[in-house]
Chains A and B, each alone.
Chain A
Amino acid sequence: MTATDTQAIETQATDTPEDLSRYHRQMLLPGFGEAGQRKLLGATALVVGCGALGTVIANMLARAGVGHLVIVDRDFIEMTNLQRQVLFDEDDVANAIPKAEAARAKIAKINSQVNVSAVVDDVNHTNIEWLAGVRPDGSDAADSPAGRKVDIIVDGVDNFETRYLANDCAVKHGIPYVYGGAVGTVGASYPILPHTAAPGTTGETPWEREGKATPCLRCIFEQAPPPGLNPTCDTAGVIGPAVSIVANFEVLETLKILTGNLDAVSPTMLNLDLWGNTVRQFKVARAYDISDCRCCHRRDFEFLDGKFASGTTTLCGRNAVQITQKLGDGQKLDFAEITKRLEQHGSVNGSRFMLRTDIVDNGEPYELTLFTDGRAIIKGTQKPAVAKSIYAKYVGA
């Protein structure tokens, strides 16, 4: 699918943003005021992923009056989502509503001053720039849901491939990007004000002119964790507060950035372990100086170029999709660990070369076959986006 095949469902604001009374309480805050509120109403945010993190982000940004939200997600709502995904309800599950569309419909009732574009699609290297409202050459993509380059990308995704894709897009085009991740009872968040020029030179963005640019996600974590190293919310579980706190931290940093309060933007990476009762702030500011980062130093956008893109092939006549995953040098999947996690869902069999298990996801049966090089065959669907979703949920990426 090319980017332009994707249709966004739109909610147009029906109320006039002349009346700011609903934002009174936040306009009272120092550094906010009416000027800050006007900036929010004039801003466009891309919310990538609309699950546990994304629903909290979209909900709070809409209430705060961010004028245009582009919400993109490939999944449908399941009963097991309702425990933490705050914009959805039982009717959405019964009616099989896609997450992005359900979020759009809810937000229309929450704040009629906000435009929402709901895009039901997989985010990948062929469409992320278009979703962010830019063409590869940096000009505005007038035919995109945003209509112009978005002001910020906020992270609600469940895998690292999409995060590095968002990071590449942010660094290439000078768009702030707020990272957030959560699983089990732990979470992390970090706002990125990207460097857009070669090291030693200063780019044109407000944050670079003010000397406030920060390291990108790849300066900090050079490589994505291999699939299966991290547990996923579907295998290890997750509690609502973990995602909610991380998502609200992302919202907080987004509001600071969109209102121009760059002095207040967190210079550290927040790490929470809610069961271990620890809140840590790791100093990451110097990562840019020492990293020789491929992305923001060398301007080599490997994820955007599709170099690490997981590939999907629909296997004709087999009702199955094959996923190929490009692992880092020498990496292979840890079958023992993945088996332990998948056993939460059913019996797992196989050998040291492959694992096989049956999974019931959202009422539909699938058979997952996994190989040590990260490749998988997901039987029970012909849709690449469904197969990628199953992989992200049960294997992780």
Chain B
Amino acid sequence: MSAPVSVTVPAALRPQVEGQETVSAPGATVGEVLCGLREQYPAFGEKLFPNGGEQINRSINIYVNEEDIRFLDNFGTPVTDKDQVDIILAIAGG
């Protein structure tokens, strides 16, 4: 079993993860880690993948070491516990 990978949660989605700034789940790819998080926090999973689908919410981006996973290998992007994974939601206020 791979070591848990920690993921930063945007402030707007922290109510769905008991207020935590970061959450973690084991996995060798971004997809596996997000799947694990979806199981641990179903309400959070619903925000990431609306209507129980496989398509990520299109106002959310996932970054690994500050690089968008769309430029890497998307959900297949390999990760370890040394990587910084961020979930970024478009910030609307002002």
On whether the beta carbons of B88 and A282 are closer than 8 Å, the reply is yes
Q: Which of B58, B67, B89 contacts A230 (CB 8 A)?
A: B89
Residues on A with C-beta less than 8 A from B66 are: 268, 280-283
Q: Which of A213-233 contact B (CB under 8 A)?
A: 220-226, 229-233
On whether the beta carbons of A181 and B58 are closer than 8 Å, the reply is no
On whether the beta carbons of A181 and B94 are closer than 8 Å, the reply is yes
A168 to chain B, nearest CB (A): 16
On whether the beta carbons of A155 and B94 are closer than 8 Å, the reply is yes
Q: Bound complex: CA of A53 vs CA of B93, how far in Å?
A: 9
B1 to chain A, nearest CB (A): 29
Which of A10-18, A28-36, A157-165, A196-204 lies at the binding interface? A157-165
On whether the beta carbons of B68 and A221 are closer than 8 Å, the reply is no
Q: Which of B8, B12, B51, B93 contacts A238 (CB 8 A)?
A: B93
B36 to chain A, nearest CB (A): 22
On whether the beta carbons of B92 and A232 are closer than 8 Å, the reply is yes
On whether the beta carbons of A229 and B58 are closer than 8 Å, the reply is no
* Given A281-B66, A331-B50, A221 and B58 contact (CB-CB distance below 8 Å): yes
* Given A282-B66, A286-B71, A330-B51, A221 and B61 contact (CB-CB distance below 8 Å): yes
In this complex, which of B53, B63, B92 has the most chain A Cβ atoms within 10 angstroms of its Cβ? B92
Does A316 lie at the interface of the complex (its beta carbon under 8 Å from any beta carbon of B)? no
Residues on A with C-beta less than 8 A from B93 are: 158, 181-184, 230-233, 238, 396
In this complex, which of B12, B58, B70, B94 has the most chain A Cβ atoms within 10 angstroms of its Cβ? B94
Q: Which of B44-59 contact A (CB under 8 A)?
A: 47, 50-51, 53, 57-59
Does A3 lie at the interface of the complex (its beta carbon under 8 Å from any beta carbon of B)? no
On whether the beta carbons of B50 and A158 are closer than 8 Å, the reply is no
Q: Bound complex: CA of A286 vs CA of B93, how far in Å?
A: 26
On whether the beta carbons of A225 and B11 are closer than 8 Å, the reply is no
On whether the beta carbons of A396 and B92 are closer than 8 Å, the reply is yes
Q: Bound complex: CA of A225 vs CA of B51, how far in Å?
A: 15
B79-94 near A? 1/0 per residue, CB < 8 Å: 0000000101111111
Residues on A with C-beta less than 8 A from B88 are: 188, 271, 282
Taking A159-B92, A273-B11, A273-B21 as known contacts, 5 extra A-B pairs with beta carbons closer than 8 A to each other, sorted by chain A number, are A181-B92, A182-B94, A282-B61, A282-B88, A290-B71
The chain B residues found within 8 Å of chain A, CB to CB, are 8, 10-12, 15, 21, 47, 50-51, 53, 57-59, 61, 63, 66-68, 70-71, 86, 88-94
The chain A residues found within 8 Å of chain B, CB to CB, are 49, 51-54, 155-160, 163, 180-188, 220-226, 229-233, 236, 238, 243, 246, 268, 271, 273, 276, 278, 280-284, 286-287, 290-291, 328, 330-331, 337, 340, 396-397
